[in-house]
A and B are shown apart, each in its own frame.
Chain A
Amino acid sequence: MIYDVVILGGGPAGLAAAAEAKKQGAENVLILERDRELGGILNQCIHNGFGLHTFNEELTGPEYAERHINEIVELGIPYLLNTMVLDMVEHGDLKVIHVINENDGYMAIESKAVILTMGCRERTSGAIGIPGYRPSGVFTAGTAQRFINMEGYMCGKEVVILGSGDIGLIMARRMTLEGAHVQAVCELMPYSNGLVRNIVQCLDDYDIPLKLSQTITFIHGKDRVEGVTIAKVDERLKAIPGTEEFIPCDTLLLSVGLIPENEITRHAGVEMDPRTSGSVVGELRQTSMPGVFACGNVVHVHDLVDFVSQEAVLAGKGAAKYLKGQLNADVDFTTVNGDGIGYVVPQKVAIKNVDDSVTFYMRVRQVFKDKVVNAYIGDTIIATKKEKKFLPAEMVNFKITKDILAEYPSGEIRFVVEEAKK
């Protein structure tokens, strides 16, 4: 059997992409999931705050996941659990996905289109190289979250958290509620990488100090963590001698960044963007390989699942268009990140595939107040996005209508942070 669309990953991106592809006419859709159930990371994110944009109510992660899983079941979309994708290769017009699981053993699944929704994984202690022994008690924040919320293991009593990403902030509150004492959250940068809402409701509510421009310089303890040395850092993020402080603790959680999980993408030869660590994508999330789409955290790390779902709808639409031979392969516009902007997604736009508008997702490199983001083609500002404040932690959604883009035959759209023009 040749599938129409196979989706690599049954998290929020995969579920929404599969549903949309099916609704747009793709008949044989299959979701491959390596975990024992669908839903991905949402299953361990038991806190509320999901779905404000999508469902207009505040859901917990499992509730948000269940709505999407129910939709998959209602649409009759099959899925394979406990199934690991090993590789994806192009074979003529088809894509061959090599998978393995306990029931079926090894299989080569053929599909006309593929949507990559593998998500991301956490940066570990090895990736940031803190000196010290390797005692037990050092966890990534997400691992601790899974242990506590799903497996029922409490993983510490006296806790220090390095990094102020959202998962770290959420875990500061979660461990406090379960009786642990969270001594501090240390953040290398002079600003937090988490959402303001989370800093207030997870740290301020429980009087947990957020130590900005501070990092951990040593992990003490041989068998179990016995404490950490923290120090202030200078503008170049180097520890300042003489500012060291010892904090006794038995547990260290790391919330130091997420990395899109793109081994399959890279091995397949799909064009990558070093700024996002994800694939280069178009307005319908098409990659450089015809028939291969990507969406969600595997493309770029989002801060809200609602935006993941929105992006997944684009990829599902794109895959369905591709199957009908209606996906335009032109590249009319490319995007570039100018001053103050770290990356822009999508990197390419084919105007014929656009319905009404294109929403460009981007992140600023630092905190900006009273500035605007301008979109330029050549020397002309084609659109402006105003906010009172731009934060690296909050993805900028910059919508540009098709009417504006259609005034230009083609070109490079450059996004720049600038002073507001008076």
Chain B
Amino acid sequence: MKKNMTCIVCPVGCQMTVEEKNDGTYDVTGNTCKRGPKYAVAEMTNPTRVVPTTVVIKNAMLPRLPVKTAQPIPKGQIFDAMAVINQVVVQAPVKTGDVVLKNLLGLGIDVVATRTMNKF
């Protein structure tokens, strides 16, 4: 499998091509420094992202509370995660770092509040 990607390790943004070889290792071309292949292989084998989003909050100044996954989650599970997070309803007050959803999708990763919101 061959994939084109832009490196985001630094602002240069090298256009790289990654190709999986028969022995399961990867060939990376187009990079201009050695950090490129490392990023490219991680993106091929286990791409992860922190998912920042919001949940419904009651009795607060605003109707939405910003939250994020406390750790990066597998990229392929972002939409499944969104479906679950969108069901969450919390009550004010909430403090930054409070867990609003435990063990998201059984990944062992919590969803936490990213701001403090007082009762209103």
Give min CB distance, B49 to chain A, whole Å: 7
B56-A152 in contact (CB<8A): yes
Any B CB within 8 A of the CB of A243: no
Any A CB within 8 A of the CB of B50: yes
Binding stretch for chain B, among A126-134, A267-275, A354-362, A387-395: A387-395
Which residues between 39 and 63 of chain B lie within 8 Å of chain A, taking CB atoms?
49-54, 56, 61-63
Which residues between 89 and 104 of chain B lie within 8 Å of chain A, taking CB atoms?
96
Any B CB within 8 A of the CB of A66: yes
B66-A152 in contact (CB<8A): no
Cα distance A252–B12 in the bound complex, in angstroms: 30
Give min CB distance, A142 to chain B, whole Å: 16
Give min CB distance, B101 to chain A, whole Å: 16
User: At the interface, is chain A mostly helix, strand, loop or mixed?
Assistant: helix
A66-B115 in contact (CB<8A): yes
B8-A48 in contact (CB<8A): no
Any A CB within 8 A of the CB of B11: yes
Any B CB within 8 A of the CB of A107: no
Q: Contacts A201-B8, A389-B13: A46 and B52 contacting too (C-beta < 8 A)?
A: yes
Q: Contacts A66-B115, A394-B11: A36 and B82 contacting too (C-beta < 8 A)?
A: no
Cα distance A218–B55 in the bound complex, in angstroms: 36
Q: Contacts A60-B66, A388-B32: A197 and B8 contacting too (C-beta < 8 A)?
A: yes
Q: Contacts A149-B66, A200-B6, A389-B11: A66 and B116 contacting too (C-beta < 8 A)?
A: yes
Q: Contacts A60-B114, A177-B78, A391-B11: A201 and B64 contacting too (C-beta < 8 A)?
A: no
- Interface residues of A, CB < 8 Å — how many? 33
B115-A63 in contact (CB<8A): yes
Give min CB distance, A57 to chain B, whole Å: 11
Set A46, A63, A200, A205: member contacting B53, Cβ < 8 A: A46
Give min CB distance, A169 to chain B, whole Å: 13
Set A36, A43, A148, A389: member contacting B12, Cβ < 8 A: A389
Give min CB distance, B30 to chain A, whole Å: 13
Cα distance A150–B115 in the bound complex, in angstroms: 12
30 contacts between A and B (CB under 8 A): A36-B61, A43-B115, A46-B114, A48-B68, A58-B50, A60-B114, A62-B66, A62-B96, A62-B115, A63-B115, A66-B96, A66-B116, A149-B64, A150-B62, A151-B62, A152-B62, A177-B51, A178-B53, A195-B11, A196-B6, A196-B8, A196-B13, A197-B8, A204-B5, A205-B49, A205-B75, A387-B11, A388-B32, A389-B12, A391-B11
Chain B residues in the interface with A (C-beta under 8 A): 5-6, 8, 11-13, 32, 49-54, 56, 61-64, 66, 68, 75, 78-79, 82, 96, 114-116
Shortest Cβ-Cβ A-B pairs, 5 listed: A62-B115, A46-B66, A196-B13, A152-B63, A60-B114
